[in-house]
Amino acid sequence: MRQLNRLNQYQRLWQASAGEAQSVSIRELATRCFCSERHMRTLLRQMQDAGWLNWHSQSGRGKRGELHFLVTPESLRSEMLEFALNTGQQQNALALAQLDPDDLRALLNPFLGGLWQNETPTLRIPYYRPLDPLVPGFLPGRAEQHLAGQIFSGLTRFVTRSFQPQGDLAHHWDVSPDGLCWRFHLHSTLYWHNGDAVTAEQLQAQLHKLLTLPALQKLFASVERIDITHPWCLTFKLHHPDYWLAHRLASYGSRLAHPQQPMLGTGPFRLVTFSRELVRLESHDYYHLGHPLLKAVEFWITPQLFEQDLGTSCRHPVQIAIGEADELQHLQPVSNSISLGFCYLTLRPGARLNDAQLRRLVQIIHHSSLLQTLPLDEDLITPSRELLPGWQMPDWPTEQVSLPNKLTLVYHLPVELHTMAEQFKRHLQTLGCELTVIFHNGKNWEGCTQLASADLMMGDRLIGEAPECTLEQWLRCDPLWPNLLSAQQFAHLQATLDAVQRQPDEQQRNRALQDVFYHLMDNAILTPMFNYQYRISAPPGVEGIHLNTRGWFDFAEAWLPAPSL
């Protein structure tokens, strides 16, 4: 970007005198700009023609000329940034924004949040890290899970403020009396993001591909085959009933991409740019449901804005602010809720720990001050004794039992578990137990080689739109459980889950699943530790934002009022 290079050279000239007039030679200027004297003369002419400065040279080699600055580098950068944004040159805009955190924050403030760009409603969200690729199946990050739901569609879907699956690519479905045949009736006008018509054959092929993924194989183990019984009807034949099938198909992991172009979907937004600096979505003109009210949504990957001591808009990924970081007092606290997801502790039964020792470790977590004294940001976490509302862990009589001399704890992200692990280690040391702490650098247990041998595990369980179904999926698909339980215990657990999913009545099915988790908690195999406080703030000009169970909001519902004249 030539303009950016020229601006950087201008900044070097300016800094020598903080913008005051200079009496200087061409040779000195060329040295500052790391270029030849000939190129320096060209740069001065170009900057003068652009109205940035005045250069009055004197004839003769080595003579000093007079340099007068007409505009500040900051005003030029802001002007270039606005031009790049208004002409859709997002990558150029991000290149212009590579500054120190304080300067970057000041420069980006007018361009973040909701604004009308060339009469197009656009929402820009500053984000603290690059986003991972949107691969088929399960994704570890909340932001990636949310994006998958905005870009891709499934046969069914979840909507805000409802735990029941709704129609998506299929507008209706019906189930045979024995629960072994599910027919999904497709919309007759479906389009991929490139404008191609969607066919039942494409959807069938993509579903077959998803069902070959190891994790989804476990989730859809009841599916015998998927048939096209009409040009606009897909029929699932099951080995045994699974009354969570519509819920499973509504999960973000079951969204369907184009067979040849995996980044093309049929969701309300199409993916235009996906890089480490910028993710840009634009509305899908042929979306089969309600059209988005925004034209574009952008994630600006600006980790500089999230330095701990800056007090900026988002010091933790569960707290999202849309808009100006310096003026948080003017942002509306749009939504604030305790997440259904939780951080948990699991303990391996029957190895180095007997039943009384398992219960003792759980009591240390909940009856000491460990959770209440974590040195974390205020209002970030809430200690919890429930997996879900009403799913409370049991209380046992206090037992003063000795612990083994040595134990091993393995944990993964989020960062709060770093603090929790170290506090737990120090506490156990006072009881004569040496705790070896191992960090698995991931958002889940994939690839963790220590999982099969550790005595204790700490992790984070995200909860989707259907809490009970999400927890059932956790027991079926997460590598934690076959590594934590014996082969016999894990086989019994899976057989119990098969019996639970056969129950057509949802309330009975949920109560049966609650019993499964109560058994795990009563045996001190699993205990919740804390929930997060999800929070979204937005400037007054952004409407239609409602917090969902993943701590995000449906981009298709957000909108911007027309600007005042």
- Indicate the SS3 state at residue 546: coil
- Indicate the SS3 state at residue 226: strand
pLDDT of residue 108: 46
Q: Using the predicted structure, report yes or no on whether residue 309 has a pLDDT greater than 50.
A: no
Q: Using the predicted structure, report yes or no on whether residue 299 has a pLDDT greater than 90.
A: no
> Ranked by mean pLDDT, which of 122-131, 175-184, 268-277 comes out on top?
175-184
Distances (CA, A) of 299 to 222, 268, 322, 486: 38, 17, 10, 44
Given a contact cutoff of 8 angstroms between Cβ atoms, the answer to whether 222 and 240 are in contact is yes
529 Cβ neighbours under 8 A, 6+ residues apart? 342, 343, 344, 345, 365, 371, 383, 384, 420, 458
Given a contact cutoff of 8 angstroms between Cβ atoms, the answer to whether 252 and 242 are in contact is no
Q: Using the predicted structure, report yes or no on whether residue 442 has a pLDDT greater than 80.
A: yes
DSSP 225: E
Extract the tokens encoding 204: 């069938």
Distance, CA of 353 to chain centre: 36
| The total number of residues written for the chain in this structure | 565
Instruction: Name the pLDDT band for 90 (thresholds 50, 70, 90).
Output: low
Task: For residue 70, give the amino acid letter.
Answer: L
pLDDT of residue 89: 61
pLDDT of residue 37: 85
pLDDT of residue 559: 81
Extract the tokens encoding 108: 């980006």
DSSP secondary structure, 159-216, as one string: -TT--S-EESSEEEEEE-TTS-EEEEEEPS--B-TTSPBP-HHHHHHHHHHHTTSHHH
Extract the tokens encoding 417: 């578990």
Dihedral, CA of residue 200, residue 240, residue 166 and residue 299, to nearest 10: -80
Q: Where are the alpha helices (DSSP H) in 89-162?
A: 90-96, 101-108, 142-151
Buried b (16+ CB within 10 A) or exposed e, 442-457: ebbbeebebbeebbbb
Cα angle 82, 84, 86 (rounded to 5 degrees) comes to 65
519 Cβ neighbours under 8 A, 6+ residues apart? none
Please enumerate, as own/partner, the contacts of 352-356 that have beta carbons within 8 Å and a separation of 24 or more: 352/404, 352/407, 352/455, 353/404, 353/407, 353/455, 355/523, 355/524, 356/399, 356/401
Which range is least confidently modeled, 100-114, 334-348, 513-527? 100-114
pLDDT of residue 312: 34
Q: Using the predicted structure, report yes or no on whether residue 365 has a pLDDT greater than 50.
A: yes
Tell me what the mean pLDDT of segment 97-111 comes to.
Answer: 48
547: left (phi over 0), alpha (psi -120 to 50) or beta: beta
Which range is least confidently modeled, 81-90, 164-173, 182-191, 294-303? 81-90
Extract the tokens encoding 94: 């991000």
DSSP 51: T
More confident site: 142 or 314:
142
pLDDT of residue 548: 74
Q: Is the torsion defined by CA of 544, 548, 550, 556 positive or negative?
A: negative
Buried b (16+ CB within 10 A) or exposed e, 366-405: beeebbeebeeeeebbeebbebbeebebeeeeeeeeebee
What phi and psi, each to the nearest 5 degrees, are found at residue 547? -65, 135
Given a contact cutoff of 8 angstroms between Cβ atoms, the answer to whether 97 and 106 are in contact is no
pLDDT of residue 325: 42
Cα angle 409, 412, 417 (rounded to 5 degrees) comes to 75
pLDDT of residue 111: 47
- Indicate the SS3 state at residue 160: coil
Give the residue among 87, 152, 149, 75 at the shortest CA–CA distance from 122: 87
Tell me what the mean pLDDT of segment 293-298 comes to.
Answer: 88
Given a contact cutoff of 8 angstroms between Cβ atoms, the answer to whether 20 and 70 are in contact is no
Q: Using the predicted structure, report yes or no on whether residue 323 has a pLDDT greater than 50.
A: no
Tell me what the mean pLDDT of segment 478-501 comes to.
Answer: 96
Task: For residue 404, give the amino acid letter.
Answer: P
CB 128: neighbour CB atoms within 10 A?
19
Instruction: Name the pLDDT band for 116 (thresholds 50, 70, 90).
Output: low
Distances (CA, A) of 261 to 12, 155, 169, 298: 45, 19, 18, 22
DSSP 460: E
- Report d(CA 297, CA 147) in Å as an integer: 11
Extract the tokens encoding 309: 């001591």
- Report d(CA 368, CA 427) in Å as an integer: 9
Half-sphere exposure of residue 457: CA atoms within 13 angstroms, side-chain side: 26
Kindly report, residue by residue over 216-266, the tens digit of the pLDDT: 999 999 999 999 999 999 999 999 999 999 999 999 999 999 999 999 999
- Indicate the SS3 state at residue 105: helix
Given a contact cutoff of 8 angstroms between Cβ atoms, the answer to whether 69 and 53 are in contact is yes
pLDDT of residue 239: 96
Kindly report, residue by residue over 378-403, the tens digit of the pLDDT: 567 788 889 988 999 998 888 889 99
- Indicate the SS3 state at residue 508: helix
Kindly report, residue by residue over 445-467, the tens digit of the pLDDT: 988 999 999 999 999 998 878 89
Q: Using the predicted structure, report yes or no on whether residue 59 has a pLDDT greater than 50.
A: yes
Given a contact cutoff of 8 angstroms between Cβ atoms, the answer to whether 379 and 319 are in contact is no
Task: For residue 231, give the amino acid letter.
Answer: P
212: left (phi over 0), alpha (psi -120 to 50) or beta: alpha
Extract the tokens encoding 429: 């040391």
Distances (CA, A) of 84 to 118, 185, 323, 544: 12, 45, 19, 28
